[in-house]
Structure 1
Amino acid sequence: MSVPSAAVDGVPAADHPSGRLLAHVCHSLVRRLPTGTGAAAVRAALDVLMERHPGLGGVRLFDERLEVDAGDPEARARVRREASRTVDGDPVVARAVVLGYADGEADLVVVAHRRVVDRRTLGLLATALSVPGTPMELPDAVAPDPAAGTAARPGSPAGAGVPSRSGVPSGSGDAAVALPWGLGDPARAGRTGTVELATAKVAADTAPALLVAATALVIARYGASERAVFGLVTEDPVAGESERLVTLPVYEETEVAELLGAAAESIAPGDVCLPEPPAVGVLLTGERPGEVYRPALTPAFPATLEWRYDQDGTVGGALRHDEGTIAPAVARRFAGHLDRAVRELARAPVGTAVGGMAPLTADEAAAVLAAGRTPARGGTPPAPLHATFRAVAAAQPDAPALTGPGGTLSYAELDARSDTAARALRAVGVLPGDLVGVRLDRDTDLVVTLLGILKTGAAYVPMDTAYPAERLVHTVTDAGIRILVSTGPDFPAVDGVTVLRPAELSSGDGDPAPDANPDPGATATDPDAIAYVIYTSGSTGRPKGVAVPHRNVHALLTATAADFGFTPADTWTLFHSSAFDFSVWEIWGALLTGGQLVVVPYYVSRNPEDFHDLLVRHRVTVLNQTPSAFAALKEVDLRASAALAVRLVVFGGEPLDVRILRDWFRRHPHTRCRVVNMYGITETTVHVTAHTVTPLDLTAGSRTVGRALPGWSVSVRDTAGRLQPFGVPGEIWVGGAGVADRYLGREELTAARFVVDPVSGERVYRSGDLGRLRPDGRLDHLGRIDDQVKVRGFRIELGEIRSVLLEDDRVTAAAVVLGGDPGDAAGVRLDAYVVPGDAGVSTEDLRRRAARYLPEYMVPATFTLLPELPLTVNGKIDAGGLAPAPAIPGPPPSAGTGEPADDAVLKVWRDILGDHIGPHDDFFTTGGNSLLAVRLSGALRRAGLPPVSLRELHIHPTPAEVSALIAGREPTG
């Protein structure tokens, strides 16, 4: 393939108002003085130079005699120390030090501030001092610059408050954002670490290009990118200094010769000045025999690579880094990979593709795999969920098992009720291995039905009661469901599908049947059999079913029960929809550890005040929440007088911003209420990792989701499936006990996502999530690689929504993007952009159709009609060019309504959704959602108005209707 030449951006350095990239640092040169030349001769030479060049009055000369020979380690250490000391004082231009030794030899060390003495001038100055009588013409620039101010004074200590062009001191921890792989500690910002790079022998004519190419290869790998971007400063004793921004393409198929050629082009003469210093900079220096040059005494960039090459082809250097940006351990590995890249490129045939050069050695790969794997805990052999439940029920038959709106069932009663349901299901033809659909509200019947289905040897397929008819039909037909349990008469008719009501699964009088064992063979189900199938959003336009075996859930509880301290004394809540895999953790976590499960009705789950009352009333100890839902609950808890009994809070479903816990920890110290952030995927059985959050995490703004659960493994891969080094972003691969069986009926997709790891040989799931692994095995979750997003805890493929929109014959093009405030879970929304092919189509038509096929949480909050979609130069959707149109105001108030334009309810409404809202705009079709509904209710209260519940808002969704609804009510708290 053809590799484009290096891209160079910027303006000529001489014309740039900000000066040069390295203007804020010092450099040094060490040269052996000719035999017989001592400090007196150097002083005489300096006096002559100062007469001819008054600017050299800023050069200070020192001399010292050491009582050791020149080759003594003490002498070499002293030279290094003098060459590392920055220019100190004002108006010092440079410092020269003569070090004399016992054997008559002497070294000259010259240190200068780069703003006034460049590389070429430094060499001329050293020559003039070391060889008295040498003619020397110094540039006029060798003089203090009064216009530079204190920030650029030649005498200012380099790196000590001298700002870079971005206004941030070089090496500042703020630069860590640009190096996600650095894993630096902000508390160590400003401390310099140094790692020496190995010395090697290469072909002299290719040495500079080889060093730049090796750097580009490693930077691209660490950046998980097909291009390497870094600042390049080339310095030559004769030609002087030039700087530029280099962008080198590093594709899998790029050949060594192509990469070397592009690198050579990037070094070609030319000088530009960068508007902002990049995070990684390369200082490429050619050295003369007999001298040692250091181009920067402090890191010129947060990560500074100083490469040196001699005329004989000897190459080497050092990595100098700010520890606030790059952790020392990461720096050592990064330097090791640079050394390896130099060796591999030097010996590789020119036609070799660089993609074949493994980023890690076998030992490094083994260490990465080991860090991401947690050994499984010992425990009971895997068993079907219902068999484990029966054993728990036999051990504590009278203990409370399930509490719902209708009362509480003991373990014995729940066991008997589910036995009755199992017999009824078997009577209508349910067989082991079947898939049985379930569309029930969160109540006692739901749990009884799920347990009864498992006791038949079948698996359950949950569907939310809010799903539209088309999605329900797709799920039933895709899963091949013949029997379905649903409340109400509204389930859409599907040929060959029998719909049962919960009452049909119980005995005639509602009492448990006397025979508690419906079929002895039912409890002997293979633990590898499928327990449930949960449908997740699919990029092809239709949801995909994830089939999860019994043994996976058993492994999940075995991995967590001891650490989390689950006991029969715990009370859990069933807060989440059965179609959301968090419910698997809630239901079976409670019932298989002997705890009590309290069902949270839908409208209670959407009203934080009512939910808080439920937690207090039932003394709930284990609370599972998405961060979005918890944020509203936390605000209620801060105002509540009644104390919670919660000892464990488990977060899942979406990324956690740990800062929301600041107030929570004040009221519930982490020593009394443990908070655990868990990362997980439906395809890997709910949870994969766990991290206990403490107040220290709040200070650090931690993004970690912790280590893999016992029996699970995590690793981070590049696009070719190769292991990434510690700290380097890539796709999260999950292995171990939680990996699901397959996607139902999707052989190709199953083969693409559930793969055999070529490194470890185990079966793993490619998550599509972006992450990085830390050396201690903790995983940082960094978002999605593709266009899958999470909204209010729901994982959504934007492609599925787009596909539904495009199925409308009146639509010619469509795009769906995540909009709103990404830092506000309630404010995040889906925005749809549609190019209509029919002039008569309206946004309301599109919304109504989307609501027929998509669940409420997947219906875009805004629909915007466009003549065409904006595209980038690469032909992709230009998301930056999309802006949602404001909602269309509703009809004017009818005569006699008496609604003033400054209605207090309407003001609150506009504070939540925007000034474009009219009195008759529907809350849920103008950007509202259940989380914003909670915010609206609180805002009404703060405005001195009576709040409204979510149920009331669904029935009365406009400002005008709510104004009429609350007229005459007394405001609350």
Structure 2
Amino acid sequence: MTTPTIDELAAGCHSLVLRLPGAVDVQRLLSEAVPEPIQVWQTPVPVGTDEPIARDRRRAESLRPIHQDGPPLRAVALNYSDGTTDLVLVAVRAVVPPASLRRIARFLLDGSGDSVSAWPAAARSGVAHRGRLEWGLGDPELRGVAGSVWMDITCRGEQLLLPAIALAASRYGGEGRTELGVLDLANGSDEHISVYPLDEHPQASVADFLHRFDQAPITPHEPPTVGVVLSPAFEEGSYTACLAPVFPLTIQLDLGSSRANCRFDQGLVDTSIARQFSAHVAHLAEQLADSAAQRPVSELELLPDAERLAVLRAGGAGNGAPARGRIDRAFEEMAAKQPQAVALVAGEERLTYRQLDERADAVAAGLRALDVAPGSRIGVCLERDADLVVTLLGVLKADCAYVPMDPRYPEQRLSFTARSADMPVVITSAPDFPAVPGTRLLPPGELARLAAGPTEAGVRTDDEGENPAYVIYTSGSTGTPKGVVVPHRNVLALLHATTGDFDLGPGDTWTLFHSSAFDFSVWEIWGCLLTGGRLVVVPYWTTRDTEEFYALLAEQRVTVLNQTPSAFAQLIRTDERVRRDLALRLVVFGGEPLDVRMLASWFTRHPAADCRLVNMFGITETTVHVTARTVTPHDVVTGSRSVGRPLPGWSVSIRDGQGRVLPPGPSGEIYVGGAGVADGYLGRHELTQQRFILDESTGERIYRSGDKGRLHLDGRLDHLGRLDNQVKIRGHRIELDEIRSVLLGAPHVTAAAVVVNRDNPDDAASSRIDAYVVLEPAADRALVLAHAKATLPDYMTPATITQVAEIPLTINGKPDTARLPDPRTATAEPLDAPEADTDTIAETVLRIWSKQLNTPVNLQDNFFSLGGNSLLVIRVIAEMREQNLPKISPRQFYSHSTAAQFTELVQQLSEADQ
């Protein structure tokens, strides 16, 4: 049998403090009242009865549990200096139940009670919680320390307390259902806990909800996290039904009393959260008492109006005025201040602010020569080089909005984006960009040539930033991407909110690391150029080679770096091995959740005082970033999931499934308001209305993010993942339903399911998209994969496609992902045993690939068909260097992606080095 912990013992004990009437022989009376001798411990207290020291001593004695091997009853007489005596009785409830304790008390006070003839044989470990309470925000260092908050229930009545507690627990739990535990000590029963399972149906009436408490409770498999202890009222003295919480959060109600006591484990529940919960229980009880029987229970509010507004204001609602201005005008002001300063570095090409401004003017003039109307959406599909930045700025100078597209996107996606955005022009140097009716394709040089001819001077608009600056397409659940329309003023607001805190200025060097089709690039480009920094454009293949990128950071003396956590994890490994002198002073994380534990080794080499690490949560629809938190070594130790507080001008609130504001603690959907909220989705009016809504409480537009989070009492936000079928992989936001829709459009596919798996739960780089398809007879999985690659960008293409006889379903008719087979065991072939004359390099390559892919590999396998991705490429290259094999560039890896091709390449390079 497991030895009970101290808090488990305390949860099984109760206590009673008696004020003795004058001189009483307690030892004699107690020996007559109980079936076995009990020692009365005499303790002098050198103060009067009402002194704080006396009160603290009574409380300490009344909460000290019985030792597991001690007698079932302990008696301590506290003798005060004013001649008064309190007798503190502490007993094991299972052996000395409330009725027996009352008999003993009456016998001691006036001899009217009957003595207890024998102790029953009962288990003495008591009832104890072992659960967690996610919304409690407790301090783990206080685990086992009990706290208490008194609740006044005079106006509500006992009969409404249980329903109010259950409704509050349901709202806090966020799932519309809860289990309320009840330990009834007033009916003379044993330590049996009953449970009321409750669902808060939106259509249910108040009468329906209350009626459920007339039904019999059930016996739980384990105690729930919130519960009530019903105890008899003791007129004889001050009674405590349980010395420690029976449930993580326990409401102790002394029947017949006007007050209840909320008891809780401070390791699980913060005192402020317990006080808040108790107030919400009281508020709900009042509404239950005042509501008509047929009123929908969903109309009952957890928070009073004043508190709801206070929570919204604490999250930033109503703070700050929207920024004004345009990106291109802000750049021109910076160029006028420092025309000779270097603005852009791209390989051997260097442009000053004046040169960048002039070349962008030429792009704008070229667009005007084509009679492109102001406000048009201009496609930009260029590699990461100087022309990309020049073109984006030039499009803005022409009073147009740019629509970035990655040259590596499939033709179908490029064609869809061009048609969806109704582009009159796409500026691209890609030779195979698909032809789109009504859209003209031009290389950047052609615009410069057009600008050299006679053109009319452009008339600059007088807008103050309300016109769109760009449209970035993100994944869509219907199978088609959706374009997010972001105005100029939002980008200016982002810089106003961050420049001072991050100390951004002309002394900084940034990198443009990310694709222009990923909104992290908005922050990289304009965050640098509008604060006077120097922007270093990182070529695509350098972004895929961590060693090359690390060398670039050192050589260019980069001070501000923006990375997804997955990419930075590879940089940490390179930094451990190479250890060059870096100038980094600020690293901003975004694009995906950060597991701060990965930063431990970085902090050992780069003190937080030298290089500030900032975790930022953001969404394309709210202009890149929403919150910011500086990560500290302490965060690494505690594994903090906080993404910080909202940026100035942004607001954050947490709401339940009905859109009701939640207080700090409970988790729900993150709603974002303020200066960063985009204009909506291009051409998707209905979807815009669903996701961009008007907050009736504040009158502000807010965005329903679909992300799950919780607020702390100090306003910090925890990001807890997605609520829907959307995921983030290596910074890209992906709707799994879009991938499924594409698969269902493939020939001979009758059903499909898509999931994300991780070979290593703690390693984001091991994330992969696994697809499952039901095929018609004689169909081929390879054709399905080819169809997906022709439609989806690389980061959305499934790493594996597994054929199954059917997609298993839950009882609710949804895909039961837990019953899908492991794609690795379903499709992988066993590792070929090396032949006698197998080359050592081949053995090493297969071993490294197998380790990184977490599956057996043979020479015929393709690295990417087995789930390889860009981050795993970097890991393979790094491990090869550690084993003294030749350096392989990512470009070489992608062009030699089967194990046989790769092995042959390594062999050739090895022979060349000899």
TM range (shorter): over 0.9
Alpha-carbon offset, residue 210 of structure 1: 2.3
Which residue pairs with 2:457 in the alignment?
519
AA aligned opposite 1:839: P
Check 1:85–1:906 CA distance in 2 against 1; reply closer, same or farther (3 A cut): closer
1:407-453 Cα offsets, whole Å, 9 max, x none, are 11111111111111112222223210101111111111111111111
AA aligned opposite 1:565: D
Q: State how far apart, in whole Å, the 2-side matches of 1:736 and 1:928 are.
A: 40
Q: State how far apart, in whole Å, the 2-side matches of 1:791 and 1:248 are.
A: 37
AA aligned opposite 1:87: I
Q: Quick check: 186-195 or 76-85, which moved more?
A: 76-85
Which residue pairs with 1:830 in the alignment?
769
User: The residue matched to 1:616 in structure 2 has which SS?
Assistant: helix
Pair 1:28-2:7 in alignment: no
Q: State how far apart, in whole Å, the 2-side matches of 1:568 and 1:16 are.
A: 65
Q: State how far apart, in whole Å, the 1-side matches of 2:264 and 2:328 are.
A: 57
Matching residue within 175, 178, 189 for 1:228: 178
Q: Quick check: 323-332 or 182-191, which moved more?
A: 182-191
Alpha-carbon offset, residue 621 of structure 1: 0.9
User: The residue matched to 1:573 in structure 2 has which SS?
Assistant: strand
User: The residue matched to 1:750 in structure 2 has which SS?
Assistant: helix
Alpha-carbon offset, residue 82 of structure 1: 4.4
Q: State how far apart, in whole Å, the 1-side matches of 2:146 and 2:572 are.
A: 42
AA aligned opposite 1:46: L
The 5-angstrom pairing of residues 755-904 of structure 1 reads 755-820=693-758, 821-836=760-775, 838-886=776-824, 887-889=827-829, 903-904=843-844
Q: State how far apart, in whole Å, the 1-side matches of 2:318 and 2:52 are.
A: 49
Check 1:76–1:917 CA distance in 2 against 1; reply closer, same or farther (3 A cut): closer
Query: Given that residues 831 and 884 in structure 1 are in contact (C-alpha distance below 8 angstroms), is that contact kept between their aligned partners in structure 2?
Result: no
AA aligned opposite 2:892: E
Q: Quick check: 315-324 or 689-698, which moved more?
A: 315-324
User: The residue matched to 2:383 in structure 1 has which SS?
Assistant: coil
Which residue pairs with 1:248 in the alignment?
198
Which residue pairs with 1:285 in the alignment?
231
AA aligned opposite 1:883: P
1:355-390 Cα offsets, whole Å, 9 max, x none, are 2121112332222122111876799x7222111112
Query: Given that residues 31 and 126 in structure 1 are in contact (C-alpha distance below 8 angstroms), is that contact kept between their aligned partners in structure 2?
Result: no
Matching residue within 317, 327, 331 for 2:274: 331
Q: State how far apart, in whole Å, the 2-side matches of 1:260 and 1:19 are.
A: 37
Q: State how far apart, in whole Å, the 1-side matches of 2:534 and 2:86 are.
A: 81
Check 1:16–1:671 CA distance in 2 against 1; reply closer, same or farther (3 A cut): closer
Q: State how far apart, in whole Å, the 1-side matches of 2:311 and 2:321 are.
A: 24
The 5-angstrom pairing of residues 323-402 of structure 1 reads 323-373=266-316, 382-402=324-344
AA aligned opposite 2:902: V
Which residue pairs with 2:495 in the alignment?
557
Query: Given that residues 202 and 315 in structure 1 are in contact (C-alpha distance below 8 angstroms), is that contact kept between their aligned partners in structure 2?
Result: no
User: The residue matched to 1:593 in structure 2 has which SS?
Assistant: coil
1:317-371 Cα offsets, whole Å, 9 max, x none, are 2112222222222222112112222333233333222221211123322221221
1:55-83 Cα offsets, whole Å, 9 max, x none, are x34x3334689999999999887765543
Q: State how far apart, in whole Å, the 1-side matches of 2:579 and 2:5 are.
A: 61
Alpha-carbon offset, residue 43 of structure 1: 3.8
Check 1:930–1:68 CA distance in 2 against 1; reply closer, same or farther (3 A cut): closer
Check 1:952–1:295 CA distance in 2 against 1; reply closer, same or farther (3 A cut): same
Which residue pairs with 1:193 in the alignment?
147
Query: Given that residues 870 and 882 in structure 1 are in contact (C-alpha distance below 8 angstroms), is that contact kept between their aligned partners in structure 2?
Result: yes
Check 1:393–1:924 CA distance in 2 against 1; reply closer, same or farther (3 A cut): same
Matching residue within 209, 215, 229 for 1:259: 209
Which residue pairs with 1:917 in the alignment?
857
Alpha-carbon offset, residue 263 of structure 1: 2.5
Alpha-carbon offset, residue 661 of structure 1: 1.4
Which residue pairs with 2:514 in the alignment?
576
User: The residue matched to 2:904 in structure 1 has which SS?
Assistant: helix
1:254-305 Cα offsets, whole Å, 9 max, x none, are 32222222223355xx7x4x55444333212233555543121123333222
User: The residue matched to 1:200 in structure 2 has which SS?
Assistant: coil
Q: State how far apart, in whole Å, the 2-side matches of 1:65 and 1:405 are.
A: 85
AA aligned opposite 1:111: V
User: The residue matched to 1:423 in structure 2 has which SS?
Assistant: helix
Q: State how far apart, in whole Å, the 1-side matches of 2:333 and 2:119 are.
A: 91
AA aligned opposite 2:275: R
Query: Given that residues 437 and 462 in structure 1 are in contact (C-alpha distance below 8 angstroms), is that contact kept between their aligned partners in structure 2?
Result: yes
Alpha-carbon offset, residue 251 of structure 1: 2.8
Which residue pairs with 1:180 in the alignment?
134
Which residue pairs with 2:440 in the alignment?
498
Alpha-carbon offset, residue 808 of structure 1: 2.6
Matching residue within 666, 671, 695 for 2:609: 671
AA aligned opposite 1:185: D
Q: State how far apart, in whole Å, the 2-side matches of 1:896 and 1:506 are.
A: 63
Pair 1:937-2:877 in alignment: yes
Q: State how far apart, in whole Å, the 2-side matches of 1:249 and 1:825 are.
A: 36
1:701-749 Cα offsets, whole Å, 9 max, x none, are 1111111111111111112222111122111111111110110000001
Which residue pairs with 2:376 in the alignment?
434
User: The residue matched to 1:521 in structure 2 has which SS?
Assistant: coil
Q: TM (normalized to structure 2)? A: 0.92
Query: Given that residues 834 and 843 in structure 2 are in contact (C-alpha distance below 8 angstroms), is that contact kept between their aligned partners in structure 1?
Result: no
Q: State how far apart, in whole Å, the 2-side matches of 1:260 and 1:17 are.
A: 40
Q: State how far apart, in whole Å, the 2-side matches of 1:966 and 1:449 are.
A: 40
Matching residue within 355, 358, 361 for 1:419: 361
Q: State how far apart, in whole Å, the 1-side matches of 2:30 and 2:834 are.
A: 95
Q: Quick check: 98-107 or 278-287, which moved more?
A: 98-107
Q: State how far apart, in whole Å, the 2-side matches of 1:247 and 1:19 are.
A: 28
Query: Given that residues 60 and 94 in structure 1 are in contact (C-alpha distance below 8 angstroms), is that contact kept between their aligned partners in structure 2?
Result: no
In structure 2, runs of 5+ residues without a counterpart are: none
Alpha-carbon offset, residue 506 of structure 1: 2.2
In structure 1, runs of 5+ residues without a counterpart are: 1-14, 153-157, 159-163
Query: Given that residues 406 and 444 in structure 1 are in contact (C-alpha distance below 8 angstroms), is that contact kept between their aligned partners in structure 2?
Result: no
1:751-779 Cα offsets, whole Å, 9 max, x none, are 11111101111111111111111222211
Alpha-carbon offset, residue 530 of structure 1: 0.6
Q: State how far apart, in whole Å, the 2-side matches of 1:571 and 1:75 are.
A: 65
1:874-909 Cα offsets, whole Å, 9 max, x none, are 222212112332245599999999668972211111
Check 1:473–1:277 CA distance in 2 against 1; reply closer, same or farther (3 A cut): same
Q: State how far apart, in whole Å, the 2-side matches of 1:93 and 1:403 are.
A: 80
User: The residue matched to 1:730 in structure 2 has which SS?
Assistant: strand
Q: State how far apart, in whole Å, the 1-side matches of 2:414 and 2:56 are.
A: 76
Matching residue within 19, 26, 31 for 1:47: 31
AA aligned opposite 2:391: T
Q: Quick check: 15-24 or 82-91, which moved more?
A: 15-24
Check 1:131–1:447 CA distance in 2 against 1; reply closer, same or farther (3 A cut): same
AA aligned opposite 1:951: R
Q: TM (normalized to structure 1)? A: 0.87
Alpha-carbon offset, residue 19 of structure 1: 13
Query: Given that residues 77 and 87 in structure 2 are in contact (C-alpha distance below 8 angstroms), is that contact kept between their aligned partners in structure 1?
Result: yes
Which residue pairs with 1:959 in the alignment?
899
Check 1:896–1:344 CA distance in 2 against 1; reply closer, same or farther (3 A cut): same
Alpha-carbon offset, residue 941 of structure 1: 2.2
Q: State how far apart, in whole Å, the 2-side matches of 1:792 and 1:815 are.
A: 21
AA aligned opposite 1:114: R
Q: State how far apart, in whole Å, the 2-side matches of 1:934 and 1:359 are.
A: 50
Q: State how far apart, in whole Å, the 1-side matches of 2:456 and 2:516 are.
A: 25
Q: State how far apart, in whole Å, the 2-side matches of 1:29 and 1:107 are.
A: 13
Matching residue within 498, 512, 528 for 2:466: 528
